[in-house]
Amino acid sequence: MDNSIFGMIEQKTGVKKEDIFKLANSFSNANFQDEKTVRRVIKQVAQTAGKRVPKEIEDKLVNAIINKNIPTNLTQLKNNMK
DSSP string of 48-61? HHT----HHHHHHH
Taking 90 as the threshold, does the pLDDT of residue 6 lie above it?
no
* pLDDT band at residue 81 using 50, 70 and 90 as cut-offs: low
What does the pLDDT read at residue 57? 93
What does the pLDDT read at residue 34? 95
Domain regions of the chain by residue span? 3-68
pLDDT tens column, 23-70: 889 888 889 899 999 999 999 989 988 989 999 999 999 999 899 887
**DSSP letter for each residue of the chain:** --HHHHHHHHHHH---HHHHHHHHHHTTT--TTSHHHHHHHHHHHHHHHT----HHHHHHHHHHHHTT-S--SHHHHHHHH-
* pLDDT band at residue 74 using 50, 70 and 90 as cut-offs: low
Q: How far apart are CA 5 and CA 43, in angstroms?
A: 22
